Chains A and B, each alone.
Chain A
Amino acid sequence: MNQRIPVTELTSSFRGRATEALADGQLRNNFRVAMDSLMQKRADAFPDEQEREGLRELGNHIKARALSRLPDLLEQLEAKLTENGVHVHWAETTEEANRIVHAIIESKQGSQVVKGKSMVSEEMEMNDYLADRDIECLESDMGEYIVQLDGEKPSHIIMPAIHKNRRQVSQLFHSKLGVEATEDVNELIQIGRRTLRKKFLEADVGVSGVNFAIAETGTLLLVENEGNGRMSTTVPPVHVAVTGIEKVVGNLRDVVPLLSLLTRSALGQPITTYVNMISGPRKADELDGPEEVHLVLLDNGRSGAFADAQLRQTLNCIRCGACMNHCPVYTRVGGHTYGEVYPGPIGKIVTPHMVGLDHVPDHPSASSLCGACGEVCPVKIPIPELLQRLRQENVKSPDEPAVVQGGGAKYSWKERALWRMWMALNTRPTLYKCFLWAATRLGKLTPKNLGPWTENHTAPVPAPRSLHDLAKAHLNAGQNRGEQP
Chain B
Amino acid sequence: MNELFYDAAPNATRVAPARPAPREYPEKPAEVTLFGTCVVDLFFPEAGLDAIRLLEREGIRVHFPQAQSCCGQPAWTSGYVKEARDVARSQLNVLDNGLPVVVPSGSCAGMFRQHYRDVFAEEPATLKRVDDLAARTFELTEFLLHVCKVEWRDLGQPTQIALHTSCSARREMNTHLHARELLAKLDKVERLDHDHESECCGFGGTFSVRMPEVSGAMVLDKTRALRESGAVEMVTADGGCLLNINGSLEKQKQAFRGRHLASFLWQRISGEGEP
Please report A residues at the B interface, Cβ cutoff 8 Å.
15, 18-19, 22, 28, 51, 53-55, 57-58, 60-62, 64-65, 67-68, 253, 256-257, 309-310, 312-313, 328-329, 332-333, 364-372, 374-375, 377, 380-383, 385, 388, 390-395, 416, 419-420, 422-423, 425-427, 429, 432-433, 436, 439-440, 451-463, 465-472, 474-475, 479-485
Contacts and interface: CB of A to CB of B under 8 A. Distances in A.
A310 B14 contact: yes
A307 to B, nearest CB: 13
B22 to A, nearest CB: 14
Contacts of A482: 30, 56, 59-61
A56 B116 CA distance: 26
A436 B52 contact: no
Give me the 3 closest cross-chain CB pairs, A-B, nearest first: A368-B204, A391-B79, A457-B247
Interface residues of B, number: 90
Contact of B75 (A19, A423, A467): A423
A471 B49 contact: yes
Interface of B: 1, 4-6, 8-18, 30, 34, 36, 38, 40-46, 48-49, 52-53, 56-64, 66-70, 72, 74-81, 83, 86-87, 89-90, 118, 167-168, 171, 198-200, 202-220, 243-244, 247-248, 250-251
Contacts, number: 252
A440 to B, nearest CB: 7
Contact of B16 (A374, A416, A471): A374
Nearest to B167: A370
A127 B48 CA distance: 60
A51 B218 contact: no
B274 to A, nearest CB: 16
A372 B200 contact: yes
Contacts of A57: 15
B57 A485 contact: yes
A468 B94 CA distance: 14
Contacts of B69: 425-427, 429, 432
Given A54-B5, A426-B70, A456-B220, 11 more contacts: A18-B214, A329-B214, A372-B198, A375-B16, A436-B41, A440-B42, A455-B212, A457-B251, A470-B45, A480-B56, A481-B61
A363 B220 CA distance: 23
Contacts of A382: 14-17
A257 B7 CA distance: 13
A114 to B, nearest CB: 36
Nearest to A16: B213
Given A18-B213, A458-B251, A332 B218 contact: yes
Contacts of B60: 482
B79 to A, nearest CB: 3
A61 B83 contact: no
A392 B207 contact: no
B109 to A, nearest CB: 15
A368 B202 contact: yes
A366 B214 contact: yes
